């Protein structure tokens, strides 16, 4: 039996930055909510210098023989690391962009490429090693683990309660690849949690009086715009037994739109200004300008920063590497104009994203959103969810628009106060057109570290030390069971329906189908047929219905060959176990008498197509 954890650890594996937070888990009073603390992550910040910083840039630099002396990238736990990870990787990668891996998390969700193949950096020249998105993610996770164990040798990482966050819109493959990366990094018993929910948990942790700030009927919109992605989530405030509860109602699709796009827009703007002065950039210099614009934008939007412009330098090429450097300035007014009008334009709630016509052939890369307006993507999310949702807790306007009462911002992009103001003002104009009161921003949150802190709080809530957001499934789910009976010519065998997940089953919970076994076909392709019902709300797990009824809808079947022995077509007696994960997946486990386990997975969460 594994040892009881000493700590709960929340890991934010971010597109641009990663973070780690923790809290005591052992020896707590049941009524006590221990504080959540941020962990400073040791990393090489400049050649030969190691510092602990609040964030670990999600950057991996594949250094060559002439980049640094071997001792210059040594870590307290590794004298000769294979890669440079963190701040130095980010800094050096801005100068030599063909050797840096960025946005590995976005690549994990890119279904058009083999995410386990060595494809990054995509611009690496011949002779530069490449790695896979899974490997890059594993390296970030491994660095966080090693930094923790260096600071806490008495508390091995694998023995703690670990929670790792993923975008709400990650598909099953991206989640499985994230789990693969955690396993390869040495993580054990990991729980995945959605980032927008984690951000809201962080707000709750910071505001013990949250029940006085929101009321029954309120609808909270979480807007998360990070370095590479945009995510939307709706959370309703409901009531049960006189107690306020929180219920997640909807999540949007994964939108590859974020700070990276804004940095490139700034780089293109500066490229045009330089071209007008006779300074033309090649592809590598433009990439370096992109990285430098990112650094300048982050400094400019940092809380309390007042400088009106920042210098940007791009190194020359060839023999004029230093003497040919190009120097320019990025002005605050240009930054705010480009980002506001290009990414947060004032639109109506009827203005939906525009799908730009694409070229027939293009380079393999990330499937970025073609419409850069976050506000238009938000309008589509609020309209499509309202049209498809049957949930009574959803606040709507007369036109059907889902109408939030509160907004929680998350992601480094929203360090810029003008961006928060523009999005909130735009949303409130939509609500005014519906005759509704304006939405209120939920203030007082750490935009860069909320996700790791919220994940830690959720780990405590699972132990009974905090409030959990409800996410009961909106249907009952069944799997088809073929009865044992003689075959009839020309007729397909009838099906019984076994209840595997009842209506309202909470995410993060499971159930065993008691007292019976079924025959599982392994070693050859077979179909698993699933059914769902919104009407049948009283069926219990393990309840067998003698037939598939008219109030059941058949879902897309799962065709799979479960691994087995060398002989094909073997039938193995199994019992069944059901789990609804924190990320909205119905996992049906088939457990053999000898302990072998096979997993079937189905998404039971309603998402909104973007």
| Segment 52-91, tens digit of pLDDT | 999 999 999 999 888 988 789 999 999 999 999 999 999 8
pLDDT of 439 above 50? yes
Structure confidence at residue 578 (pLDDT): 92
Which pLDDT band, with edges at 50, 70 and 90, does 159 fall under?
Answer: very high
Mean pLDDT of 276-300: 82
Structure confidence at residue 562 (pLDDT): 87
Cα–Cα distance between 556 and 294 in angstroms, integer?
43
User: What's the CATH class of domain 259-343?
Assistant: alpha beta
pLDDT of 605 above 90? no
Structure confidence at residue 339 (pLDDT): 92
Mean pLDDT of 197-209: 91
Task: Name the residue among 56, 472, 106 with its Cα closest to residue 257.
Answer: 106
DSSP, collapsed to helix, strand or coil, labels residue 159 as helix
Mean pLDDT of 499-510: 86
Which CATH number applies to 7-192: 3.30.450.70, 3.40.50.1220, 3.30.420.40, 2.160.10.10? 3.30.420.40
What are the E-state strand segments in 318-358?
326-331
Do 259-343 and 7-192 have the same topology in CATH? no
Q: Give the total residue count for the chain.
A: 610
Tokens of 324: 């040919």
Which pLDDT band, with edges at 50, 70 and 90, does 546 fall under?
Answer: very high
Could you check whether the bond before residue 416 is cis, i.e. omega within 30 degrees of 0?
no
**Torsion on CA atoms 56, 60, 64, 67, rounded to nearest 10:** -30
Count H helices and E strands in the chain, helices first: 12, 32
Would residue 127 be called left, alpha or beta, if left means φ above 0 and alpha means ψ between -120 and 50 degrees? left
Structure confidence at residue 322 (pLDDT): 45
Percentage of the chain surpassing pLDDT 90?
A: 47
CA 570 to each of CA 481, 486, 590, 595: distance values in angstroms, whole numbers, following the listed order: 17, 19, 14, 16
Structure confidence at residue 323 (pLDDT): 46
Structure confidence at residue 494 (pLDDT): 83
Structure confidence at residue 386 (pLDDT): 55
Q: What is the DSSP string of 527-559?
A: EE-EEEESS---PPTTPEESS--TT-EEPPPEE
Q: What is the pLDDT of residues 412-424, one digit of tens each?
A: 889 888 899 999 9
pLDDT of 391 above 70? no
Structure confidence at residue 41 (pLDDT): 98
pLDDT of 392 above 70? no
Q: What is the DSSP string of 379-427?
A: HHHHHHHHHH---TT--B-TTS-B--SEEEEESGGGGSHHHHHHHHHHH
* DSSP annotation of 606: -
Which pLDDT band, with edges at 50, 70 and 90, does 121 fall under?
Answer: very high
What are the E-state strand segments in 213-297?
219-225, 230-240, 243-252
Q: What is the pLDDT of residues 445-476, one digit of tens each?
A: 688 899 999 999 999 988 888 887 776 777 89
Q: What is the pLDDT of residues 209-255, one digit of tens each?
A: 888 899 989 999 999 998 878 989 898 888 877 667 788 888 887 78
Domain ranges of the chain: 7-192, 210-257+368-468, 259-343, 476-608
Mean pLDDT of 353-380: 76
Please give the mean pLDDT across all residues of the chain.
87
Cα–Cα distance between 395 and 390 in angstroms, integer?
11
pLDDT of 29 above 80? no
Structure confidence at residue 364 (pLDDT): 55
* Span of 113-122, 236-245, 259-268, 400-409 with lowest mean pLDDT: 236-245
Asked if the 210-257+368-468 domain carries CATH number 3.30.420.40, the reply is yes
Structure confidence at residue 393 (pLDDT): 57
Task: Check: CB of residue 413 under 8 Å from CB of residue 195.
Answer: no
Contacts of 488 (CB under 8 A, 6+ apart): none
């Amino acid at each position: 039996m594994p040892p009881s954890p000493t700590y709960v650890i929340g890991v934010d594996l971010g597109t641009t930055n990663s973070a780690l937070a923790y809290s005591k888990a052992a020896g707590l009073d049941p009524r006590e909510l221990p504080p959540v603390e941020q962990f400073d992550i040791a990393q090489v910040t400049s050649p030969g210098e190691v510092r602990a910083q609040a964030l670990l840039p999600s950057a991996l630099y594949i250094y060559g023989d002439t980049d640094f002396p071997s001792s210059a990238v040594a870590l307290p736990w590794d004298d000769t690391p294979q890669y440079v990870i963190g701040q130095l990787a980010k800094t050096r990668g801005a100068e030599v962009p063909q050797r840096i891996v960025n946005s590995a998390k976005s690549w994990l969700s890119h279904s058009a490429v083999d995410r386990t193949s060595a494809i990054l950096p995509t611009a690496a020249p011949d002779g530069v090693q490449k790695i896979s998105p899974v490997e890059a993610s594993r390296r970030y996770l491994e660095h966080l683990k090693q930094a923790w164990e260096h600071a806490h040798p008495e508390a091995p990482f694998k023995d703690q309660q670990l929670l790792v966050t993923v975008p709400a819109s990650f598909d099953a493959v991206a989640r499985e690849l994230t789990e693969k990366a955690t396993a390869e990094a040495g993580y054990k018993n990991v729980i995945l949690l959605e980032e927008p929910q984690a951000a809201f948990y962080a707000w709750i942790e910071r505001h013990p009086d949250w029940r006085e700030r929101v009321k029954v009927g309120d609808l909270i919109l979480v807007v998360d715009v990070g370095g590479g992605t945009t995510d939307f989530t709706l959370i309703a405030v409901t009531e049960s037994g006189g107690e306020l509860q929180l219920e997640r109602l909807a999540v949007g699709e994964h939108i590859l739109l974020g700070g990276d796009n804004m940095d490139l827009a700034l780089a293109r703007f500066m490229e045009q200004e330089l071209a007008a002065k006779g300074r033309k950039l090649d592809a590598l210099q433009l990439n370096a300008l992109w990285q430098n614009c990112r650094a300048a934008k982050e400094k400019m939007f940092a809380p309390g920063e007042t400088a009106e412009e920042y210098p940007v330098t791009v190194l020359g090429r060839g023999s004029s590497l230093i003497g040919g450097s190009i120097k320019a300035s990025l002005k605050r007014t240009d930054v705010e104009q480009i980002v506001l009008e290009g990414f947060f334009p004032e639109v109506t709630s009827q203005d939906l994203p525009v799908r730009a016509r694409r070229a027939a052939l293009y380079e393999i890369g990330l499937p970025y959103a073609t419409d850069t307006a976050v506000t238009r993507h938000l309008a589509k999310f609020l309209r499509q969810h309202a049209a498809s949702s049957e949930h009574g807790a959803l606040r709507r306007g007369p036109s059907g628009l889902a109408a939030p009462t509160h907004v929680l911002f998350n992601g480094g992009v929203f360090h810029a106060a003008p961006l928060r103001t523009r999005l909130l003002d735009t949303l409130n104009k939509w609500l005014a057109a519906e005759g509704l009161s304006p939405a209120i921003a939920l203030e007082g949150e750490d935009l860069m570290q909320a996700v790791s802190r919220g994940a830690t709080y959720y780990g405590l809530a699972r132990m009974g030390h905090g409030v959990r957001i409800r996410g009961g499934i909106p249907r009952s789910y069944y799997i088809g069971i073929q009865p044992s009976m003689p075959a009839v010519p020309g007729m397909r065998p009838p099906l019984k329906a076994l209840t595997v997940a009842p209506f309202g089953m909470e995410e993060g919970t499971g159930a065993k189908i008691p007292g019976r076994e079924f025959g599982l076909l392994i070693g050859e392709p077979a179909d698993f047929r699933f059914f769902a019902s919104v009407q049948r709300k009283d069926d219990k797990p393990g309840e067998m219905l003698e037939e598939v009824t008219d109030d059941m809808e058949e879902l897309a079947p799962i065709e799979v060959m479960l691994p087995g022995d060398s002989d094909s077509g073997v039938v193995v007696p199994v019992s069944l176990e059901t789990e609804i994960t924190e990320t909205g997946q119905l996992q049906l486990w088939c457990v053999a008498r000898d302990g072998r386990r096979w997993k079937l997975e189905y998404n039971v969460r309603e998402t909104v197509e973007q």
